[in-house]
Structure formats: C-alpha cells, structure tokens
A and B are shown apart, each in its own frame.
Chain A
Amino acid sequence: MIINHPILGPRDAQEFVYLGDAALMGRPDGMTAGIEEFHDWLYNRDNPAGEHRELWYHEQGDRSWLVVTRNTVTHEILKVELARDVARAMGRAK
C-alpha cells in the first residue's frame, strides 16, 4: 500500500506504524468520564468492513501522525490527513 503523505507525497506503508481506529483520538476527559466510558474508548471498536478512518505514524519518515481513510475490504486508500489538522478541527489545541 502507498500512503499519500500530505507533506512528503507517496510513501510506502512499510515506513509507518499502525495504531488503529482514529476514534482513539477522542479520549474521554479523565476528570469527568466514568470507568465505563473509558473502557468503551480503550477496548471496543466499530471494526467496519468498508471505509475506516485510522491512525498511522510515520516512524521512518517525518514522525507525523496521519489519519488515513482506507477501505478494509479492498485496501484502497481514499483520503490522507495530518492528525494534527483533524484534532484541530475537533476543537483541540494541538
């Protein structure tokens, strides 16, 4: 698979480390969320067959975190964003 890095252009997926569902970016607030909510965030996954937004870390490159939208049935990569931009769009400072 080739991941079209928003800054570096097309890069081999081998340069990246895979973390999982991009929903992991939405960690519950540790001061207000209960144990059930944390459990659901840490352990449970949608795990869809089809489009999946997921986190890839460019370990052997610029060490940026990317949000890659990829089809889990065909392995086709549909969209690549910097995780930083996605986080800011979610209202986070960084």
Chain B
Amino acid sequence: MSLSMIDGKILSNEAISSDCYSMMISVSDIASLAVPGQFVNIYVNNESKLLPRPISICEVDAYKGTIRLVYRAVGAGTKELSSYLEGTVIKLLGPLGNGYELLNGKKAMLIGGGIGIPPLLELAKRLDADKSVVLGFRDEIFLADEFKDYADVYIASEDGKTGVKGNVIDAIREYKLDAEVIYACGPTPMLRAIKEYGLSNNMIVQLSLEERMACGIGACLACVCKTANVDDHSFVNNSRVCKDGPVFRAEEVVL
C-alpha cells in the first residue's frame, strides 16, 4: 500500500492551439517522482464520466512541485478538463508507468507526432546527449518552439505549411539526421515506421505507446499491446501498456 490518489490544484489551463491545452498543476507528490515518459490518471469532477484520463507528463518542476500536462480536448472527458479554471482541485494518480531509459552520452533523436509530442519536452530537458528533435504535425503547430532551448528542432507537416511536407521519416531523410538512440511517441502508424527505420539502421529505439485504458495500473487488461515474446503476466504475448509500458523497446512490441 504505497500509492494513493492525490489532490492537485490547477494553476493554469490555457489553449495553445485550436484543440490543445496546457495545464499546470500543483501536486508535489507526483512532481517529486515523475520521470520523462510517465503519465498520470486524472479523475474528472463528474460522476457520469467514470474512467480516469491517462495523460502524459509534459514537464516536471520538482522544486516548485508542479507538473505540466499538454492534452488534446477531443472526447467528453478532456473537453470537460479544458473547461476547468485556475484554482480547481482535481484528483490524480501517479506517476504511472515506466518512462524512457535515458541513455546519456549517446547521440539521440527525439521524435514526436501530434499529441505524442508533449512527453518529449521533459525528456529533451533531462537527456544529457547530443540530440535533435523531429516533430510531426497534421497542420497546426504547437509546443515546437519550446524545444529550441534544448536541441535543434526539425518539423514535418502533412499540409507542408511548416517544415518538410510529409511525415517525420521524410524530415529525417530530408535533413539527413542520424542518431544512436531514438526516443519516440505518437500515433501507431508513425511508431511502426520509426521502428522499421530505426532497427534497420541499428539504432536503439524506445517507443511510447498509446491505448485506451480503464484502471491505469495493470489490473483490467484493457490496454494491451502485442509483444514479440511471451509476457510475464498472462503468458500470451500481450503486454500492458499502462503497467509494463508505456515505453517499450521497439523490438519488444508488434505494431
């Protein structure tokens, strides 16, 4: 019995694009523990919306006791979350899951797609290595400027209005980027392409996966992903994204 649900106080909650929001929460118990790639469960203050929202941690300030979440308001729960004003108290559980393994000193490429970008910001801050950041967007750009303090930033957009027209792999090829380690988070088709690209170039590839969750702690077996080897929970080649992940080595997962 070491975990508990914690009250967090919203310090700010503002739109940073047409549907993405940045929320700063004062919650020192989580801030003191969180590492890049972990997530929190947020319990919205509405009894008709039952399930916690798993949201990745974008930034951590252990000294101030704050965490920052950048989330997209797409469903009923995240839309409700986007309406919460400064001062609102919400229940949180976390930090949950396993974050990225920081391979300091190894040349790194941080690759994010869409709402998979936020957890890479804290990683960019903490990772002590020569690094480049590659970000893929459909159209609207968000958060990209904030990476510039930590690394060179390369952008791909599907509409071609910013950076390379196409996806993150197109940007990597266009700018002839190279690395020993890839740290990635984004939609599954992107992760699939990065896995193939990284492994065929003998890179170490860490992927953060997303899946619909219920409990967030490994009990309900909702958020599984297919794995190359037999898992050690159910012994059926299914790992739990929430508990065994969300970050996996690319060779471990079947995408």
Q: Do A and B come from one complex?
A: no
Q: B residues touching A (Cβ–Cβ < 8 Å)?
A: none
